[in-house]
Amino acid sequence: MDMDKLVSLCKRRGFIFPSSEIYGGLNGFWDYGPLGVELKRNIKDAWWRDNITLRDDMVGIDCSIIMNPKVWEASGHVGGFSDPMVDCRATKERYRADQMYVFVARHPRPNEKGEPVETWFAGLGASPEDAAEVPNKKTAKLSRRYGTPEVAPTIIPYLQVDPADRVKVVGPSTDEPGTLTEPRSFNLMFKTFVGALESESNVAYLRPETAQGIFANFKNVVDTGRVKIPFGIAQVGKSFRNEINPRNFTFRSREFEQMEIEFFCHPSQATEWYAYWRKARFQWYVDHGIKSDRLRLRDHDPDELAFYSTATADIEYSFPFGVSELEGIAHRGDYDLSQHQKFSGKDLTYFDEEKKERYLPHVIEPSAGADRATLAFLCEAYEEDQVAGETRTVLKFHPRFAPIKAAVFPLVKRDGMPEMAEKIYRDLKRHFNVFLDEKGAIGRRYRRQDEAGTPFGITVDGQTIADGTVTFRDRDSCRQWRVPSANVVQAVRDLLEGQAVPAGPGRAEPSPSSSEEVG
């Protein structure tokens, strides 16, 4: 699937727009349009229902985005939440040093002093393969004098280039070597000031994750007396990271939503709960339509693990731009609670009344991104297929996620059809997000809803007037069947709850370019 096509569909149909686009946008920020907001909300609601509402061992919370800055000292974000950055003195651009790779090109002719001529040029990419796609423009000027170079097969991560050799490197957007600064740490948290004074003592941060609000409220939730270990606290909300290199549409944004769970358990049960969440979270994506061969669970190598974590796994999805993280499941031990205990001076231990045991619970953290999940479900849903001899673009969303659940069409604008369609639309709208479309050839109206991902179409046609039935149409198979108009609400409910589309060939799909059925 071509990412550009998806981005353009998202813009055209009102799923996702660049933020403040009329002013040229802002890198790393996105807005969800009328269809996108429904899609993302359906994903968040499904996550909440499956992980909180339907369970006995989960509760929710909604914390403030700006918290006491000590939270971020305790969590390690003030000291450690940083990426190594390199600035280009010539262009003033800033790059993530860990996403820069160096290629050495050797020219066949020596320079005037008889020395070999080499170009060391830096390419940008999340992986060496990405960076290798950077065209070798840098060597063009030198090639005229010293001949076409041969690029050495070894690609060197920039951070592994000997500091003495870094002056030779030509930055990603210059032609001259030696313009890059030494790598420096750059904290990813957005800073702000609370109150009127812009002084150091008033500094606060926009939260870079929702997790810490949960830990900071652990004692409050336990003290309300509703929960007993093992139990989890969930939160959905905005997080902010001043990402150096926002990229791949909404995949890496500077403002995004997370859906996080901190599951608290007895230390002796933590391994079991880790295994449980690792499996359950993977299955959630499969159950909602992501084909398992496009998903993988990648266990972190021991040298990738944070020092306090005994195990972490990423659920990765094969996006069109590469296999990348969708969600992380981490066994965090008692690290977070012990840090907050230390920094706040408050006792955060849990007392088990039955066993008369006091301990600091261990934590399993399934941490997902609502925007990344939305992007993955969009990528997975996007298809181009052949219907009635023409290529159609269709978003095959799981019905639970579809922004519009059904569209109602009067076949023509006469014979009482618009009035009947309006009544069916009003009845349905009390239960589901539905759409009434009266304009254009019926085939074209079907295609518009296919692009919006609407799973079912309901057409009021000539037969409706005769026998009171309407045509139901399935988005994925284009199969059609008839349903009494009085049963439409129940029929839509049954289909949304998973009832199979009736078998059989159905009626032939009208071509979108046919104009015989114009309303």
177 three-class SS? strand
Buried b (16+ CB within 10 A) or exposed e, 176-204: ebebbeebeebbbbeeeeeeeeeeeeeeb
Total number of residues binding ligand GAP (CB under 6 A)?
Answer: 19
Site string (117-146) toward ligand GAP, x via CB under 6 A: ------------------------------
Q: Shortest distance, CB of residue 332 to ligand GAP, whole angstroms?
A: 9
Residues 6+ apart with CB under 8 A from 390: 511, 512, 513
- Rounded to 5, what percent of the chain is helix, strand, coil? 35, 30, 35
Of residues 258-317, which lie at the interface with ligand GAP (CB under 6 A)? 258, 260
- Of 87 and 327, the one with the shorter C-beta distance to ligand GAP is 327
Q: Does 328 bind ligand GAP (CB under 6 A)?
A: yes
Q: What are phi and psi of 238, to 5 degrees?
A: -75, 145
Angle between helices 370-381 and 34-48 (to 10 degrees): 110
Q: Does 367 bind ligand GAP (CB under 6 A)?
A: yes
Q: Shortest distance, CB of residue 186 to ligand GAP, whole angstroms?
A: 14
Alpha-helical segments (H) within 1-154: 3-12, 34-48, 70-75, 77-80, 128-132, 140-146
Q: Does 403 bind ligand GAP (CB under 6 A)?
A: no
Q: Does 256 bind ligand GAP (CB under 6 A)?
A: yes
Q: Shortest distance, CB of residue 257 to ligand GAP, whole angstroms?
A: 8
Residue with smallest beta-carbon separation from ligand GAP = 369
- Of 221 and 489, the one with the shorter C-beta distance to ligand GAP is 221
- Of 43 and 420, the one with the shorter C-beta distance to ligand GAP is 43
- Of 219 and 241, the one with the shorter C-beta distance to ligand GAP is 241
What are the tokens at 233? 């606290």
Distance CA 415, CA 226 (A): 60
Which is it for strands 322-333 and 311-319: parallel, antiparallel or unpaired? antiparallel
Residue with tokens 């104009």: 515
Q: Does 96 bind ligand GAP (CB under 6 A)?
A: no
Near ligand GAP by CB under 6 A: residue from 83, 87, 327, 334: 327
Q: Specify the length of the chain in residues.
A: 519
Q: Does 6 bind ligand GAP (CB under 6 A)?
A: no
195-203, 322-330, 404-412, 432-440 -> range binding ligand GAP (CB under 6 A): 322-330
Q: Does 371 bind ligand GAP (CB under 6 A)?
A: yes
Position 54, amino acid: L
The contact set with ligand GAP (CB under 6 A) reads 209, 211, 241, 243, 252-253, 256, 258, 260, 325-328, 365, 367-369, 371-372
